[in-house]
Structure 1
Amino acid sequence: MRARTWIVGAVAAMVAVGPSTLAYGASMAETAPAPVKSLGVPLPVSYFSAIELDEARGRLYVGQSIGHDLPLAVTDLDGRLLSHVDAVKDVTDVTLSDDGRTLFAAQGYDRVTAMDAESLQVTGVYFAPDGVCPTSVEATGGKVVAGYVDCGAGSGGLAVWSAPNTSPRLFTEAVDYNPVLDTSPGAPGLVVAGDRGVTPVKTFVVDISGDTPWIRARSTVDGSLRDYAMSPDGTTVVQSSGWPYEHRTYRVPDLADSEIYPSGAYPIDAAWSGDGSTVAVARDPAPSSDPDVYLYARNATVPTYVVDFHPDQAASYRTLLVNRAGTRAWVVTSDLYGQNVTLHSFGPAHEPNPPYTDLTITAQVGKGKTGHTATVTATLRFPVVGLRQLRVTASTNGGAEKEILSGMLDENGQTTGTYDLPRGTTTFTARYTDFDGWFPSKTVTTTLTR
């Protein structure tokens, strides 16, 4: 299984020529299913960095960014916290071995830690030499391989260990900047690697099965790399790049052109189901409002399932996960500032948490000298992202409505004001309309009689 790592960074500006034409052009729209909306749930971590799926045990492993001394978190498949692994902190990447028995974490920019996946007890440590900072990790062919940066210098490569507590073999003939890598149970000993954020994309298939790593194939294409996803049988790799506006695949090990999965601007992530039947692709929604995640049957060109997130929420790098049967997927989103970290789960066999609007209004008459004054409070508990504005009106005895409150809400999602209450029955109405058209509109009323 591949690990999922997320590093906050600015996305380079790109020229968007028809960004939605590939994702939801006329031909796809005629046959593709309607997008489903996913609200998601807050992820119970403070500083998110990485996520991995352990379907057999019903767990998600969630890393928390280096520098905050926070432990690896374990949640259930719905994102509810189960436990912490206090012995493993400052995790930048996490991956499960192909047999599901060992969990590996790139930790502290100075090691890879192995844990028994059942007990989560540490079983071994792969220490990095001075100046080698592991940021990503995979396990293949009985070896552990980390993508690393040269601490403080900005260059790096691959570190390959054959056993814990041994010195790694360092390989710098392929990636050397900010390595992204993936492996597959169907291709033991092979690593697909490239450097994130570098244009053009240089992709390498590196064989680490022997004593000395060597490059079996290399290719160069336009774009700026975000992620790789190797198929479980090891024959295909999906490349996610800011350009072109589609998810392209290449054969392994020769990197010849293969299938194309339409997605639109800008490809950001991809993942395979464990049985190889389904590939999920994700895109950064800016600048269009097209959907965010598409599930395809292998080799198909029309998606079988489409998901849309709120316009202020974007999929994070290398967080897309798919179960073995291709019926359920997960992804982590955040806002522009890396805040509001949210876990989404969805698929043909798992309906997502849908958006809703929880709007209430209360009104009460004052006492004594304020007996002719009404205090009106409107409360909006959702949406949790985007602009939260309400409009409150008053109408007495069926007369014309008069706006009495309008504008942004306080930190509790409330707006409160007073109203000089005429004699008769006054109806107070609160209305919410989402400017993005994503959360449902809602209208609620309450009455007072003087």
Structure 2
Amino acid sequence: MRARILTLGMVSAIAAVSVTTSAYGAPPAPAADSGGTTAAAAQVSAVKSVGTPLPVDDFRAIELDEDRGRLYLAQGVGTGLPLVVTDLDGQFQQRVTAVTDVSDLVLADDHRRLLVAQGFNRVTALDADSLTVKAAYPVPSGACPYVVEPTGDKIVAGFLDCGLGSGGLLVWSSPDTPPTVYTAGPNYEPVIDASAGAPGLIVAGDTGYSPVTTYVIDVTGTTPQIRSRRTDTGENLQDYALSPDGTEVVESTGYPYEHHAYRMPDLADATVYPSGAYPADAAWSADSSTVAIGRSDTSSFDPDVLLYKKGSTTPTYAVDFRSGDNLWKGTLLVNRDGSRAWAVSYDDYYQERYLLHSFGPAHPPKAPVTDLAVTAATGSGKQKGTANLTVTWSSPMSGPSGAGGDHYWWITASTNGGPEKEFGRGRMDTTGKASATYALPKGTTTFTVHYQDFEGWYPPGYDTATLTR
């Protein structure tokens, strides 16, 4: 599962108040699917996940370390940002300042080393317990490695052409030795994956042009050899996910709108996992019982991630992100037994917002809520005829994850049971608070603050306060 988003900038950087209890109504029924979800995928109801903001300034890759209860986060190349470590819920633990400019990272098969691709110019091995540098893998001039995978006793990196004349693979037999440079397979912008169940084999293909050719490459010998090759396996390659038992690889391509799997190592047809537009990612549980498949650019009510049992075409679980939060390819992770999964989304309009979603049959996601409140008090002295109101909220667009979005609150007033009159409206933003004033007439005035998500993803909410003059 090694497909990382690269940008031109990254490559060029190398070369007294009574308040009622809030009430929430049910969201409207989902609209018709416009994203191509198949009938099979629609058989399971999707749960909603709002995610948790990641403690990063930038983001490029994520890795799961279930044994140590950690997630490792790569912040990308070019700004000197360090490796970040969180717990399994995305809560900050530490910054590894000795390891910066990371484009990809992966645990070795023995789970004792964390391999990182750094600065498009080296691969480094860290001790997974102490997160100190233990070994380095040198890179030839003109090759810019950006993804890395262990397989058997070899370390393999996919590299871009930065002067060598071609992209391709670098294969190391040991640290501190020159790698074998291999360009007879994918040679533009390689996507690679490997697993402990298929030692010495790499599944690889090029993203950046279509149709896709998928390779199984044997790197056990002095010179890598193509074991099998299959042409025209789709368009716009996103990701490969090789099952930990080494028997099946799931390919994510922009088209067709389903996740095709192929047997290993001959790449014969295996299961087709229904998903819909647009396939973006896949990942396996460590016991190979469960595969998670993900897609991007979905509508409000389309599932973003579906969980399948291996070989089944009926999903067992589905999760939906907020409209505008797109799955970041290469970020799907699944625990050992398939009971919990993780993914990162980014805001389609404000890409500085990176959210960690954690979900699964044994782990309900962080669900959307609409917590509104209004407080009201009269002014003093000459201002006793003025109501001072404060509106607060904790969702859907407040807090550090809530920049932007056309989500609004509005407030009405009704005196002595008369009609409601709107007198204030504002955008829900990162402050979580707004103020308003109102000229109080004689009698008892009820103020009601409202929120309604017209897409129906967040639940509607309201809260009231009363003042008597």
Taking the aligned partners of 2:271 and 2:208, their CA distance within structure 1 comes to 23
Determine the structure 2 residue equivalent to 1:103: 114
Determine the structure 1 residue equivalent to 2:259: 247
Taking the aligned partners of 1:417 and 1:158, their CA distance within structure 2 comes to 62
8 Å CA contact 2:295–2:305 kept in 1: the answer is yes
Percent of aligned positions with the same letter in both sequences? 54
**CA 1:423 to 1:148, structure 2 compared with 1: closer, same or farther past 3 Å?**
same
Q: Decide which moves more: 209-218 or 264-273.
A: 209-218
Taking the aligned partners of 2:112 and 2:312, their CA distance within structure 1 comes to 33
Task: Report the 3-state secondary structure (helix = DSSP H, G, I; strand = E; otherwise coil) of the residue aligned with 2:231.
Answer: strand
Q: Decide which moves more: 266-275 or 69-78.
A: 69-78
Task: Report the 3-state secondary structure (helix = DSSP H, G, I; strand = E; otherwise coil) of the residue aligned with 2:67.
Answer: helix
Determine the structure 2 residue equivalent to 1:430: 449
8 Å CA contact 1:320–1:329 kept in 2: the answer is yes
1:319 corresponds to 2:338? no
In structure 2, what residue type is equivalent to 1:201?
A: V
Determine the structure 1 residue equivalent to 2:313: 301
Determine the structure 2 residue equivalent to 1:147: 158
8 Å CA contact 1:271–1:281 kept in 2: the answer is yes
1:335 corresponds to 2:376? no
Q: 2:196 aligns with which of 185, 188, 205?
A: 185
Task: Report the 3-state secondary structure (helix = DSSP H, G, I; strand = E; otherwise coil) of the residue aligned with 1:369.
Answer: helix
Deviations 1:257-298 (A, max 9, x none): 111000000000000100010000000134574110000011
1:33-432 correspondence runs (5 A): 33-151=44-162, 155-221=166-232, 222-286=234-298, 289-336=301-348, 337-384=350-397, 385=402, 386-409=405-428, 411-432=430-451
Taking the aligned partners of 1:245 and 1:154, their CA distance within structure 2 comes to 34
Taking the aligned partners of 1:44 and 1:3, their CA distance within structure 2 comes to 22
Taking the aligned partners of 1:108 and 1:252, their CA distance within structure 2 comes to 33
8 Å CA contact 2:290–2:307 kept in 1: the answer is yes
8 Å CA contact 1:427–1:445 kept in 2: the answer is yes
8 Å CA contact 1:19–1:288 kept in 2: the answer is no
Deviations 1:303-349 (A, max 9, x none): 00100000111110100000110110000011114221011111111
Task: Report the 3-state secondary structure (helix = DSSP H, G, I; strand = E; otherwise coil) of the residue aligned with 2:90.
Answer: coil
1:80 positional shift: 1.0
**CA 1:24 to 1:437, structure 2 compared with 1: closer, same or farther past 3 Å?**
farther
**CA 1:154 to 1:24, structure 2 compared with 1: closer, same or farther past 3 Å?**
farther
In structure 2, what residue type is equivalent to 1:89?
A: T
Taking the aligned partners of 2:313 and 2:38, their CA distance within structure 1 comes to 12
Deviations 1:105-162 (A, max 9, x none): 0001100000111121111000111111100000111111000001268941001111
8 Å CA contact 1:3–1:52 kept in 2: the answer is no
Determine the structure 2 residue equivalent to 1:12: none
1:196 positional shift: 1.7
In structure 2, what residue type is equivalent to 1:112?
A: V
**CA 1:398 to 1:307, structure 2 compared with 1: closer, same or farther past 3 Å?**
same
Task: Report the 3-state secondary structure (helix = DSSP H, G, I; strand = E; otherwise coil) of the residue aligned with 1:56.
Answer: coil
In structure 1, what residue type is equivalent to 2:219?
A: I
Taking the aligned partners of 2:295 and 2:199, their CA distance within structure 1 comes to 29
Task: Report the 3-state secondary structure (helix = DSSP H, G, I; strand = E; otherwise coil) of the residue aligned with 2:365.
Answer: coil
* CA RMSD in angstroms, aligned pairs only: 1.9
1:217 positional shift: 1.3
**CA 1:200 to 1:169, structure 2 compared with 1: closer, same or farther past 3 Å?**
same
8 Å CA contact 2:3–2:192 kept in 1: the answer is no
- Name structure 1 gaps, 5 residues minimum: 10-17
1:238 positional shift: 0.3
In structure 2, what residue type is equivalent to 1:333?
A: S
Taking the aligned partners of 1:388 and 1:150, their CA distance within structure 2 comes to 45
**CA 1:7 to 1:354, structure 2 compared with 1: closer, same or farther past 3 Å?**
farther
8 Å CA contact 2:141–2:163 kept in 1: the answer is no
Taking the aligned partners of 1:142 and 1:75, their CA distance within structure 2 comes to 29
8 Å CA contact 2:424–2:436 kept in 1: the answer is yes
1:216 positional shift: 1.4
1:438 positional shift: 1.2
8 Å CA contact 1:149–1:155 kept in 2: the answer is yes
TM-score, normalization by structure 1: 0.93
Taking the aligned partners of 2:45 and 2:65, their CA distance within structure 1 comes to 30
TM-score, normalization by structure 2: 0.90
Taking the aligned partners of 1:290 and 1:410, their CA distance within structure 2 comes to 25
Taking the aligned partners of 1:205 and 1:8, their CA distance within structure 2 comes to 27
**CA 1:411 to 1:321, structure 2 compared with 1: closer, same or farther past 3 Å?**
closer
In structure 2, what residue type is equivalent to 1:242?
A: G
Aligned residues: 438
**CA 1:8 to 1:400, structure 2 compared with 1: closer, same or farther past 3 Å?**
farther
8 Å CA contact 1:194–1:201 kept in 2: the answer is yes
**CA 1:6 to 1:75, structure 2 compared with 1: closer, same or farther past 3 Å?**
farther
8 Å CA contact 1:247–1:281 kept in 2: the answer is yes
8 Å CA contact 1:203–1:220 kept in 2: the answer is yes
8 Å CA contact 1:7–1:317 kept in 2: the answer is no
Taking the aligned partners of 1:393 and 1:366, their CA distance within structure 2 comes to 19
1:28 positional shift: 4.7
